[in-house]
Amino acid sequence: MNYEREKAMYYIGVDLGTSAVKLLLMEEDGRILNMVSREYPISFPRPSWSEQKPEDWWQQTREGIRDLLRDYDRGLVGGISFGGQMHGLVVLDREDQVIRPAILWNDSRTTEETEYLNEEVGRDFLSGHTGNIAFAGFTAPKILWMKKREPENFARIHRIMLPKDYLVYRMTGVHATDVSDASGTLLLDVRNRTWSKEMLAICGIRENMLPRLYESYDCIGKIRPDIAKELSLPENVRVAAGAGDNAASALATGTVGEGKCNLSLGTSGTLFISSDHFHLDESNALHSFCDASGRYHLMGCMLSAASCNKWWTEEILGETDYAGVQSRVDEKRLGENPVFYLPYLMGERSPLNDPYARACFVGMTMDSGQADLTQAVLEGVAFACRDMLETARKQGLVIDRSRLVGGGAKSGLWQKILANVLNLKLDLLETEEGPSLGAAMLAAVACGKYPDPKEAARAIVRVKKTIAPDPDLAAKYQRQYEKFSGLYPALKGTFRALVGSMSCDK
């Protein structure tokens, strides 16, 4: 038995994040053997700009692989795959040299190009050809920006790729991407999983500049002999196409199959709903993307989730004991709080698409205390998650339970509030390692250990606990949600006027 365990194959998952690359070594049965992280710098050369050097990613990934395998038999590595930050623009010339630093997902220099796409090209045209409208972080607006602002660099473009695909290219020599990551470029016809000729024409690029499209679990090749020698790896190590970070994370939570749902309560909040069929959100409140299993998903993102709790606890209360602050909330008052909180600290993306939205407390009286406001913050984020859920349900998706992950998911009080506000069973997982675990699972599929991602998820992902809603409390929260739902429409004009007046004052 020990001999078999020693000879089990290993799979490497690489998560190319914004601040660091995180690497995970997984045994074929899903057991995590080791994890390492290597940081790299991010530059902000101008206000609203965000850039990185792709060479930094590659250097730290190679060093990370050395660290990851230091105490393990490198000869047992069977495959490697990637999850990574989406939407970034990486451009290479004919000599395979990076033309300029990568423009990242959180770069907002493309306001003008985004407005052009949405208003002049038109939202209906965009959603009809790609399944989505333009956002400043997407790749197509970045290409238009480069075309207009850096025409000499634009003329040198020979290859266009996404951040994780640069690592794949350096490792294999194959110019490839997967459909989940490509979904966030605004260049992909998501429904048909092919590049949109119409969008390529609008951006002034040729299809041969773009990577070949693969499913996330496809083997796109093997590592180059020189890289295998440098890292002391077998030359037959297979490389899977990989996935965008959210799609890779969804696989790691077992969110695969019709109606499967995952709610991530991190700095931002993400609702990921898997579907066997393509759904076009006519309100453009949710993204329609391909997933990592060969199917599709709808995804909503609220900009401030656990960050609201961090702001309230640390900045306003001046405390760091989150559990202590939340212990002051009387759970007998759940569903009866007269104070409401709108969680729009940074505007809102899904489902409002309103950069002018602002956070506020509503309903305070002389009787309102700190515990009421703490409770309101947790409930306000939950109500905003419910907004995204209801938008998905309008597309005909049936959702009866969800996985719950992220830093905010560690709060027992917040778990209870969310389960009853959403009126869903919430599953908590034994292992929560996000894109790096999802990438390792894709590598295992590409190597034939599992027949498909769904089977890999079924074998590897395990639920440790389920939080069920209480019918009476869920009914109370339904009434509270109806009150919450009227607040943003009533304040929308005020938010816009406030932001406009502050801009004028400056």
Residue 506: per-residue pLDDT: 43
| Distances, alpha carbon 264 to alpha carbons 107, 156, 426, in Å | 22, 40, 11
Active-site choice (165, 189, 245, 372): 245
Homologous superfamily (CATH) for 254-426 = ATPase, nucleotide binding domain (3.30.420.40)
Identify whether the C-beta of residue 429 lies closer than 8 Å to the C-beta of residue 405: yes
pLDDT digits (tens, 9 = 90+) for 259-279: 899 999 988 899 999 999 998
Beta strands in 117-227 (DSSP E): 159-161, 176-178, 188-189, 194-195, 212-214, 219-222
Binding residues for substrate: 86-87
pLDDT of amino acid 98:
98
Place of tokens 């295998």: 228
Per-residue b or e along 280-294, where b marks 16 or more CB atoms closer than 10 Å to that residue's CB: bbeebbbbbbbbbbb
Phi, psi (degrees; rounded to nearest 5) at 440: -60, -40
pLDDT at residue 318, rounded to an integer: 97
User: Same topology for domains 2-246 and 254-426, yes or no?
Assistant: yes
Write out the H or E segment, with its range, that includes residue 391: helix 370-393
For residue 58, which of 102, 104, 16 has the smallest C-alpha distance?
16
Q: Per DSSP, what are the bridge partners of residue 32?
A: 26
321 catalytic per annotation? no
Sign of the alpha-carbon torsion through 306, 308, 309, 311: positive
pLDDT at 395: 83
Alpha helices in 447-470 (DSSP H): 453-460
User: Domain residues of the chain, as ranges?
Assistant: 2-246, 254-426
Q: What is the DSSP letter of 117?
A: I
Cα torsion 439, 230, 175, 280 to 10°: value is: 10
pLDDT at 41: 94
pLDDT of amino acid 134: 93
Cβ burial of 204 (10 Å; 0-12, 13-18, 19+) is exposed
Annotated binding site: 86-87
φ/ψ of 268, rounded to 5, equals -105, 170
pLDDT of residue 376: 98
Vertex 346, ends 344 and 347: CA angle to 5°? 60
The model carries a pTM of 0.89
CATH topology of domain 2-246: Nucleotidyltransferase; domain 5 (3.30.420)
Q: What is the pLDDT along the chain (506 residues), one digit of tens a residue?
A: 343 445 789 999 999 998 999 999 999 999 999 999 999 999 999 988 999 999 999 999 999 999 999 999 999 999 999 999 999 999 999 999 999 999 998 888 998 999 999 999 999 999 999 999 998 889 999 999 999 999 999 999 999 999 999 999 999 999 999 999 999 999 999 999 999 999 999 999 999 999 999 999 999 999 999 999 999 999 999 999 999 999 999 999 999 999 899 999 988 899 999 999 998 888 888 999 999 999 999 999 898 999 999 999 999 999 999 999 999 999 999 999 999 999 999 888 889 888 889 999 999 999 999 999 999 999 999 999 999 999 999 888 889 999 999 889 999 999 999 999 999 999 999 988 889 999 999 999 999 999 999 999 999 999 999 999 999 999 999 999 999 999 999 999 999 898 776 544 44
